Structure 1
Amino acid sequence: MIACFVTGTDTGVGKTLSSCALLHALARHHRRVVGMKPVASGAEPDGQGGWANEDSLALRAASTLVVPPQLDNPVLLPDPVSPHIAAERAGATVQLAPILQAYQQLAAQADAVVVEGAGGWQVPLSPRLRIADLAVALQLPVVLVVGLRLGCINHALLTAEAIRASGLPLAGWIASRVDPQMREPEANLAYLRQHLGAPLLADLPWQAQPDARAVPVQLPTAWQ
């Protein structure tokens, strides 16, 4: 079974689009592919009398395996704010055990699982728990989504350093062109390719209407 944990240099850098692109790429090699959003902040009506998060809905649309919501999104918080604040507002505490149990059930059914984090690597889930703690508990290789904009080199290198310091491998990274007005994007991309120490899996162009199916992804050989 193949699995990875997708994190970003910040919030809003294209983690969901990247995760969906990874799912589509994995589905070309594996039959049972599923996305997971362990913790999601911000719920909207799902059209079926329930509630769902827009990131979770996108991951489900890109998956080939249909699972109950409590498995692919075990923690759904109503307010679209930082998870630890959303949990406090909801009178809840995000805990690792239910998330790990849901992941194990997904992994038992799937050929490949893409787990998308929330925000960046150090985003808090509770007063004592961060996204990094969740990734370490899952023990998955990490894919880093780098939002190409001013400051991205510093953010990318610091995040890559933190990932490796946690003991997890950086399996690859994805460049996400979130700022169409960015100056010298190619020079920034070239520097990151030289210094991140991990393969570039995809270069996501800026799209007014993002389409994950149209993104070419070079999967690591072991994932094919």
Structure 2
Amino acid sequence: MSKGLFIVGTETDIGKTYVTGLLLKALRDSGQRAAYFKAAMSGNARDADGNLLPGDALWVKTVSGIEQPVREMCPYVYENAYSPHLAAQIEGNPIELHVVKERFAEVSQRYNYVTVEGSGGILCPLRFDDKQILLEDVIRALNLPCLLVADAGLGTINSVVLTAEYMLARKLPVKGMIFNRFHPESVLEQDNLRMCQRLTGLPVLACVKPGDTTLAIDTQTLTELYE
């Protein structure tokens, strides 16, 4: 039976794909059969034949070295770099939650650990027409614990605490935090880590410096995040 973990960013473009790739690399390096999954991916390019290429999935596969085929990684891929709900409205093929669950279940049958990356932040709308699906609905449907990924720089206290409080109020389990783009010499960023831990009660599990190719977290701590 596989175990899973859902990666939630405090906002867009804070490096959750980068951190997810390092998480998968750490699992693979420890000998685990690790897989990646993302319900919806927007802002993707096309190949010479006009096929959409899931950019986040390709990057994660490259950096982590996992053997999982890209076709298994994301059921909904959009070209426009918009929120998935808007990209789907423009391009068609709106998200169906039962499809996401079925595809996730298929991946879970073949791998020991499945890391699921969210789109945008916790309030990202994945569908908003006759049906309304937010990122939190996917977390509940897959029944996974969560890990917060945040930028270590200025403004992170507000975004981390608001995200954590929203998720805890809605009974979405959060295991801890990883900070990206961390500069150890920065007094500001060191204080951000302390303040985020104090205000949320969540542990900082790792910090990722610019250019890091490995994640500074021991195997036992990492695997215990997955349920």
Regarding TM over 0.5, the answer is: yes
Distance 2:7 2:135 in 1: 11
> Aligned letter for 1:144?
L
- Quote the residue 2:120 is aligned against: 119
Distance 1:68 1:188 in 2: 36
- Quote the residue 1:195 is aligned against: 199
Give the match's secondary structure for 2:154: coil
Per the TM alignment, residue 156 of structure 1 is displaced from its structure 2 partner at its CA by: 0.5
Match of 2:160 among 156, 164, 177: 156
Matched, 1:140 2:144: yes
Distance 1:65 1:2 in 2: 18
Distance 1:123 1:138 in 2: 17
- Quote the residue 1:83 is aligned against: 84
Flag the 1:183–1:200 CA change in 2: closer, same or farther, 3 A: closer
Larger % of strand: which? Answer: 1
Matched, 1:18 2:19: yes
Give the match's secondary structure for 2:119: strand
> Aligned letter for 2:195?
Y
Using the aligned pairs only, state the percent identity.
30
- Quote the residue 1:40 is aligned against: 41
Flag the 1:157–1:97 CA change in 2: closer, same or farther, 3 A: same
Matched, 1:217 2:205: no
Unaligned runs of 5+ in 1: none
Show structure 1 runs of 4+ deviating over 4 A: 46-49
More displaced, 9-18 or 88-97?
88-97
Per the TM alignment, residue 174 of structure 1 is displaced from its structure 2 partner at its CA by: 0.5
Per the TM alignment, residue 162 of structure 1 is displaced from its structure 2 partner at its CA by: 1.7
Flag the 1:203–1:82 CA change in 2: closer, same or farther, 3 A: same
Q: Answer yes or no: is the 8 Å Cα contact 1:43–1:77 preserved in 2.
A: yes
Give the match's secondary structure for 1:52: coil
Superposed CA offset, 1:42-71 (max 9, x none): 2213578732122111122225232351x3
> Aligned letter for 1:120?
G
Flag the 1:45–1:221 CA change in 2: closer, same or farther, 3 A: closer
Per the TM alignment, residue 119 of structure 1 is displaced from its structure 2 partner at its CA by: 0.6
- Quote the residue 1:65 is aligned against: 67
Give the match's secondary structure for 2:109: helix
Distance 1:165 1:131 in 2: 15
> Aligned letter for 1:64?
I
Per the TM alignment, residue 37 of structure 1 is displaced from its structure 2 partner at its CA by: 1.8
Unaligned runs of 5+ in 2: none
Superposed CA offset, 1:59-117 (max 9, x none): 22225232351x31100011111111100010232111111101000000001110001
Give the match's secondary structure for 1:101: helix
Matched, 1:104 2:105: yes
